[in-house]
Amino acid sequence: MSLSKVADLEDVPVRGSIAVAVHGVPVALVRTDAETVKAVHNVCSHQYYELAPEGWVGDNCIECALHGSVFDLDTGEPASLPALDPIPVYDCTVENGAILVDVDHPLNDAEPPRH
């Protein structure tokens, strides 16, 4: 597969997130500023809990609302405990107001959380 349209830019609030499914894969779309959207696996690696839409969005991270694990949106690496494992990061682009994501070729080697 390749990039698939999953939402419109206006669907994601600035410094907020929404949950979408892309070919059955749970994805958190995280809008860090007016034009930038990033895509990560929408399941915390600590416990099976969705990051979006409840997670707090920081300067290039999303925090799980359940226990506070923070994940870097570029690497998927946890920046705080209790999470120890990274989450998958996906190619995401905005073209003409459409958000496009590719879940078939993650940008890191993280395994999707399985609980």
What's the mean pLDDT when you consider all of the chain?
A: 96
Please state the domain count of the chain.
Answer: 1
* Domain range for 13: 4-102
Predicted pLDDT at 64? 98
* Domain contains 115: no
pLDDT tens readout for residues 79-106: 999 999 999 999 999 999 999 999 999 9
∠ CA 79-105-81, nearest 5°, is 15
* Domain contains 72: yes
pLDDT tens readout for residues 57-71: 999 999 999 999 999
The answer to whether residues 41 and 78 touch, using CB atoms and an 8 Å cutoff, is no
* Domain contains 109: no
pLDDT at 24 over 80: yes
Distance, in Å, from the CA atom of 19 to the CA atom of 51, rounded to the nearest integer, reads 8
Q: What CATH number is associated with residue 40?
A: 2.102.10.10
* Domain contains 85: yes
